[in-house]
Amino acid sequence: MAIPADLLNKMTLEEKIGQLTMASANQAVTGPVAPSDFSNSVREGRVGSLLNLWGREETQRAQRLAVEGSRLGIPLFVGADVIHGFETIHPIPLAEAAAFEPALWEETARDATAESAAAGVHLTFSPMIDIARDPRWGRIAEGAGEDPVVGSAFAAAKVRGFQGKGLAGMGTTAKHFVVYGAAAAGREYAETDVSQRTVAEIYLPPFRAAVEAGTTAIMPAFSTLAGIPMTAHRQLLVGVLREQWGFDGVVISDYNAITELMKHGVAADLADAAMLALRAGVDIDMMGFAYERGLPEALKRGTVTMAEIDAAVMRVLVLKDRLGLFDDPYRNGWTPLPSLAERRATARKAGARSLVLAQNRGDLLPLSPGIKRLAVIGPLADARAEMIGSWSAAGKGDDAVSPLTGLRAALPGVEITHVEGTGIASGEADFATAVAAARAADCVILCVGEAALMSGEAASRTSLDLPGRQGELVEAVSATGKPIIALLFCGRPVTIPSLVEKADALLICWFPGSEAGHAIADVLTGKVNPGGHLPVTWPRDLGQVPITYDARPTGRPKNPAEKYTSKYIDSPNSPQFAFGHGLSYSSFSVSDPRIDAGRTITVEADVTNESDREGTTTLFLFSHDPVASVSRPLLELKQFSSITLGPREKRTVRFELQRSDFAFPDEAMQMAVEPGEIEIHVGLSAARAQLRSGTFKLV
Ligand code: GLC
């Protein structure tokens, strides 16, 4: 049926503004701004979309209010935060990024869409693609880490996975546009202030990738960039997003963000706030009612025009049409739903692929068959709700598999004792029982880290240390001298110098999702050979933050023999673990790159599995421009490739680069390609010592 002809002309101003208003259906979530009951607003055409609502019955009832109850019968769309799974929860995005596997990122998004669609959700406020380089910021957990190339691949894969072909799946909202991850001092919602060059090179690329992949919506960030709130940032939201990139989808404000323009100090009243947001191209006011309460006055003042309102309304109607809601508002049988067993299997696979084996002294892992007594110790050993992380939609902790449950299922013949030892953040502790259990065991599995909600939104930390008295637990257990396998649960890089020193093996588990325990057991027993790599640089100490692999050179590079060089007097410059770090039960070697600099620049390198067991690793291709008009980063990731090699298998990995891949914003912020020598570095992480290098002449 498509959009009924002449619909716009039939709409009253109130009905037009209704299409620009999104209300929350879950008062528990929304707090004071929630309307008494969204039903009246929908029936009266004053709300055109809902969030925080799911369930077939509930969403169909809401849709009936719009389609059969309102004057013009314009269908609603229902949005939800489906970030890493809907009911079956996948690893948090920062964990899934560690797989460096776009096909997996797409697969989990497809499963999440199938579950969401079955619950009547039409659009997800996802993917969250904010580049994050400060682990104090809790939302580093929700994105793909520090690198724009990884972030761009993640963005495109998630848009493809959620939306499916021809929007057969659900709409996506790439968020939070832009630079939100650079919040001052890592403090949530704080101002951001980075150079135009950094905005262009680091923070914008994932959003451009999402637009090119066809994202249906964009959500501006709560934050300001150099004093301008993103919700009112006309130059980026209109100038770049719509005019330069040709984005023709819908811009949905973040929660109450238009009204908050007054708190930002750029709007004197709601009419001002509404005008600023509308003129910046924000189409939908999420749960702020600023458009409902401010646009009529702004029209009267002449600060907005009816044409501007109509343009926004049309973009919303087109979105609803693209979602098929005019043709079939109830979207029955919308998308096929794989069996629960299949969806759990995907979650288990993704969980295992996201784990990063950070160290494995003496090849303690995989667990030796000779181990007959295990002590599973720590506050996260039998945790379930923590395993699904933040932003877990309709996921339930009770449905998650704890590490202890996973280990018991995988090791029926092993005597496993479990002691919490201490809480995640609590002061109580029973180190004596933990020590006794360790002493009686052949090996200790120490499960430590953060609680799920110590990261995510409104969860910045001033310390990256293990919370509570977990550090003491590590000391007490390691004093027994027993072999220790540490399982680290976190939504961010945490500073763990003592754990690194005391644990023989360290598996970074992040928050692995509903199948956590089985995924972890698959890796610990060797059923799965770990292949995850860090999508973020891991600091030794908070004092190093921000620390990334792509720092620009300094005029005084560190030289131990020289005092006046770039260094700390109390710490190495190097991180605890480099960007891309990740071990395997196999070992791999990488050849020098072979470069052919024709019209297309091809780089080939041979990766060999030097072990007798199949394994997965990721080959990274970095470049460096040693002399340019603007100082270029010491390493710039250009491409990556996750590969699985059989025993002793050697494979040539081929990367193809175009001249335009070496463009960067020059002094005048114009994208330029400057001829000259370019260094190429390939390796299994950004750690300089293991990179293999070559050069070519860029013409
Ligand atoms: C939140 C988040 C945003 C989310 C929205 C709706 O405050 O910033 O990511 O999509 O509100 O829940």
| Alpha-carbon 79 to chain mean position | 19
Residue with tokens 């890796």: 523
Say which DSSP state 588 is in.
E
- Give the strand pairing for 600-609 and 650-658: antiparallel
pLDDT the model gives residue 5: 85
- Tokens 């890089």, residue? 493
Mutate which of 116, 255, 455 for ligand 1 pocket (most atoms within 8 A of beta carbon):
255
Distance from Cα 373 to the centre of ligand 1, integer Å: 46
Q: Are strands 505-508 and 356-360 parallel, antiparallel or unpaired?
A: antiparallel
Closest CA to 447 of 427, 422, 429: 422
At 336 the pLDDT is 86
Q: For atom 3 of ligand 1, which residue has the closest CA?
A: 254
Domain 588-698 top-level CATH class = mainly beta
Chain position carrying tokens 């001092």 = 185
Amino acid (1-letter code) at residue 460: S
* Residue of 54, 81, 251 with the most ligand 1 atoms within 8 Å of its CB, for mutation: 81
Q: What is each CA distance from 685 to 241, 342, 546, in whole angstroms?
A: 33, 33, 19
Q: Are 539 and 575 in contact (CB under 8 A)?
A: yes
Cα(20) to centroid(ligand 1), Å: 17
Q: What crossing angle do the helices spanning 306-322 and 290-301 adopt, rounded to 10°?
A: 150
Q: What are the per-10-residue average pLDDT scores of the chain (699 residues)? A: 89 98 74 62 95 92 96 97 98 98 98 96 98 98 98 98 95 98 98 98 98 98 98 98 98 98 98 98 97 98 98 98 95 83 98 98 97 98 98 96 98 98 95 98 98 98 98 98 98 98 98 98 98 98 98 96 96 98 98 96 98 98 98 98 98 98 96 97 97 97
Give the three-class secondary structure for 407: helix
Could you tell me which residues are beta bridge partners of residue 228? Answer: 225
Q: How far is the CA of 332 from the centre of ligand 1 (A)?
A: 27
Q: Whose CA is nearest to atom 12 of ligand 1?
A: 81
Where along the chain do the CATH 3.40.50.1700 domains lie? 341-544
The residues that are catalytic are 254
Ligand 1 neighbours by CB, cut-off 6 Å: 51, 81, 125, 175, 254-255, 457
Atom of ligand 1 nearest to the CA of 79: 6
If one residue of 218, 254, 256, 259 were mutated to test the ligand 1 pocket, choosing by the most ligand atoms within 8 A of its CB, it would be 254
Residue 254 Cα to ligand 1 midpoint, Å, equals: 6
Cα distances (Å, whole numbers) of residue 439 to 417, 436, 473, 482 = 11, 5, 14, 7
Which of the following CATH numbers is that of domain 341-544: 3.40.50.1820, 3.40.640.10, 3.40.50.1700, 3.40.50.150? 3.40.50.1700
Please report the atom of ligand 1 found closest to the CA of residue 128.
Answer: 9
∠ CA(113), CA(119), CA(124), 5° rounding?
A: 45
CATH 3.20.20.300 intervals, the chain: 7-322
β partners of residue 605: 653
Q: Please report the DSSP string for 423-476 in residue order.
A: -SS-S-B-HHHHHHHHHTSSEEEEEEE--GGGSSTT---S--SPPTTHHHHHHH
Nearest protein CA to atom 10 of ligand 1, as residue: 125
DSSP 618-653: EEEEEEE-SS-SSPPPS-EEEEEEEEEE-TT-EEEE
Among 482, 528, 480, 524, smallest CA distance to 506 is for: 524
Amino acid letter at 525?
T
Determine the Cα–Cα distance for residues 282 and 636; give it in Å rounded to an integer: 34
Q: How far does residue 487's CA lie from ligand 1's centre (Å)? A: 30
The stretches of 531-688 forming alpha helices (DSSP H) are none
Rounded CA-CA distance 461/572 in Å is 23
The atom number, within ligand 1, closest to the CA of 142 reads 9
Strand (E) or helix (H) holding 596: strand 594-597
**CA dist., res. 483 & res. 463, Å (int):** 28
Q: Which helix (H) or strand (E) holds 176?
A: strand 171-177
Superfamily of domain 7-322: Glycoside hydrolase, family 3, N-terminal domain (3.20.20.300)
